[in-house]
Amino acid sequence: MHYAIIDHNGNNIERRQAMKIKFYAVGGTIDKVYFDKKSTYEVGKPLLDEILRASNITFDYEIELIIGKDSLDMTEEDRRSLREKISSDQNRLIVLTHGTDTMIETAKYLKEIEGKTIVLTGSMEPARFRSSDAVFNVGCAIAAVQVLQAGVYIVMNGRIFDPEKVWKNIDLSRFEEL
C-alpha cells in the first residue's frame, strides 16, 4: 500500500509506502483452546487476525504461523528456525506472539538479529477468554514496535522490557523488571 501527501492546493508533495508490521504467531497461551471434556488446553488457530480486524487498525500487516506449540515444548531447533526466518524476512517491524513461559529465553536468542525491531508479547490467559490480557498486550506491542529503536524487546502488562532485565512473576501473573 502506498499513500501520497497532498498540500492544500492538491499538489502531490511526497509519496510514501505505508507502514507494515509482520506478525509471527509462535503459539503459547495466547492461542490456546480449552477442551472441556478433556479439561485440557491445546494450542489452536491464532486469533491474531481477529484481534487486528476488530481493532480497526490502519496499517498493513502480514501474519505467519510458525512453530505453533506451547513455549515449554519449544526446542533449540525451533528457536534457530525462528531466528533464521526473522533474519531473512524483508520486514523491519516484527511482532511475535509467544508463550510466556520461555518468552525471555527466545528474546535473548533473537538478540543477535540486527536492523529490525522485534517485539515479543503474549498473554497469561487464552485470547478466547473474555478476561484475557491478549488484546491489550498485542495493542501495546503494536505501539512499541513503531517507536522503538532496532533491537529485541518484551512487551507485557503495559510495559516494555529489555529481555536481559525482566522476569515472569508467576504468583502475580505478570512480568516485572529485575
- Contact, 14 vs 29, CB < 8 A? no
Summarize pLDDT for 8-27 with one digit per residue, the tens: 666 665 555 568 999 998 87
Mean pLDDT of 91-96: 97
Q: Say what the pLDDT of residue 32 is.
A: 52
Q: Say what the pLDDT of residue 2 is.
A: 47
Cell of 153: 524487546
Summarize pLDDT for 27-74 with one digit per residue, the tens: 776 665 654 454 455 555 667 888 888 888 889 999 998 887 778 889
Q: Is residue 141 part of a domain?
A: yes
Burial string for 22-61 (b: 16+ CB within 10 Å, else e) reads bbbbbbbbbbbeeeeeeeeeebbebbbeebbeeeeeeeeb
Summarize pLDDT for 108-135 with one digit per residue, the tens: 999 999 999 999 998 877 666 677 788 8
Q: How many domains is the chain partitioned into structurally?
A: 1
Q: Which of 76, 98, 105, 94 is nearest to 164 (CA)?
A: 105
Residue 54: CATH number of its domain:
3.40.50.1170
Q: Is residue 6 part of a domain?
A: no
Range of the domain at 137: 19-177
